[in-house]
Amino acid sequence: MPAARLAIVTGKGGVGKTTVAAGLARAAARAGRNVLLVEIAIPGRLASVLDVDELPAVPTEVRPNLSAVSLDEGLALEHLVDRLLPMRLLSRRLLSSETFRIVAAAVPGILEVALLAQIHGWLEPASGIRRKGFDLVILDAPASGHSVPLLSSPNTLAGVASFGPLGDVVRKISASLRDPKRTVAFVVALPEEWAVAEAIELFESLRDELGVPVARPLLNAAYPRRFSKTDERLIGEAEAAGTIDPELLVAAHHFLERREAVHRQVRALRNGTGEKPVELPYLFSPTMLWDDLDPLADAVQAGLDS
C-alpha cells in the first residue's frame, strides 16, 4: 500500500476511478490504516459504492477505519479565509460580502488551492476537535481534464500570491504535492485504446510537467486469462472439426478477444509510461458496493506490494 499520506486517483471519465479509489480505501482500511475517502468530482458516485444516502460535508466514519467526505468549494474557501485571517470576526465579515466571493472566484487557481488546502488540513496531526487523525487520505479526483488544472493551481496562484500568508500556504501545498513521502497519484485506464492514450498523456503531465510522484498505472476491468495456449489450440481444433457447442464457442472467443485487448493495452501503457501497469480484475458482480470490492482491493494491494 502507498507509504504516502495522500493518494490521488484520477483518469479519464468512465474508466472506473471512483470504484478504484474505493478499492484502494478498502485495502488500506483492512490493513488497519485510518482512511479518509474524499469525493470532489460528481456527487453521489461514492455514496452509492459505500451504500449511504449521501456523503457528509465533514469527515464522518462510515465503515470501520474508513471516513468519507464530499468536498465543497464554498466551504473550502471559507476554511482558507479562516486560516489566513487571525480574527474570526474579520473573516466572517469578509465571507459575508458577495463582492469578495465574486472577486475571489475570478482569481486564477484560488478555488482549487482552497480545495487542496482543505485536503492537506486533514493530513495534519489530530487536534482536540478530532479524536484521531487520518493515516491516509484518498482523493477521488476529477476526470483528467480537470485534475491537471487542480494540481497545477499552486503554480498558477504563485504568480499572484508570492508572499504573505497565502503565499506560505501555496508553497506548502506545492512542496507537499511533489514529495513522494507525502503524495502519490494513481492514473486509471481501461483496456481500450482511447482510455490508454489519455492515461499516458495524463501520466506524463503529472510526472514531467507538475512533478507529482506517480505510481504504476492501474489498468481497470481487465478480463482474466481463462485459457492456456494449449486450451486455445484445442478450441481452434474443435471449432474446425465442428465438435464444440456454438454458444460455448462464442463465449470462448469473447474471453480470448477481451484478454488479447488487455495484452495490447498493457504493452501500450508500459511503452508509453515506462512502467508495468497493475491489472485490476473485471468484477463480475450484479452490484458494486463496499462488500463487493475485495477482489479489487486484493489486486491493488498485490500489485503495489510487488
Determine, yes or no, domain membership for 231.
Answer: no
- Please say if the pLDDT value at position 212 is more than 80: yes
Q: Is the CA virtual torsion 122, 125, 126, 127 positive or negative?
A: negative
Determine, yes or no, domain membership for 278.
Answer: yes
Higher pLDDT, 74 or 188: 188
- Please say if the pLDDT value at position 196 is more than 60: yes
CATH number assigned to the domain comprising residue 169: 3.40.50.300
Average confidence (pLDDT) over 39-54:
84
Tell me the pairing of strands 6-11 and 136-140: parallel
Determine, yes or no, domain membership for 168.
Answer: yes
Q: Which of 43-47, 81-85, 261-265, 289-293 has the lowest mean pLDDT?
A: 81-85
**Tell me, what's the pLDDT at 299?**
94
Q: Which of 19-23, 72-76, 93-97, 286-290 has the lowest mean pLDDT?
A: 93-97
What percent of the chain has pLDDT above 70?
87
Q: Which domain holds residue 174?
A: 6-225+266-305
**Secondary structure (DSSP) of 154-222:** HHHHHTT--SHHHHHHHHHHHHHHT-TTTEEEEEEE-SSHHHHHHHHHHHHIIIIIS---B---EEEEE
Q: pLDDT band at 258, cuts 50/70/90? A: very high
Determine, yes or no, domain membership for 259.
Answer: no
- Please say if the pLDDT value at position 100 is more than 70: no
**Tell me, what's the pLDDT at 102?**
60
CB contact at 8 A, 177 and 156: no
Determine, yes or no, domain membership for 69.
Answer: yes
d(CA 239, CA 36): 52
Determine, yes or no, domain membership for 272.
Answer: yes
Chain Cα centroid distance, residue 45: 13
Q: Which residues pair with 38 in a beta bridge?
A: 69, 139
Determine, yes or no, domain membership for 245.
Answer: no
User: Which range scores top for mean pLDDT: 42-51, 125-134, 156-165, 206-215?
Assistant: 206-215
CB contact at 8 A, 23 and 300: yes
C-alpha dist (Å) from residue 305 to 1, 3, 27, 37, 218? 6, 11, 12, 21, 13
Average confidence (pLDDT) over 270-286:
94
The helix, strand and coil proportions of the chain, stated in percent and rounded to the nearest 5, come to 55, 15, 35
Total domains present in the chain: 1
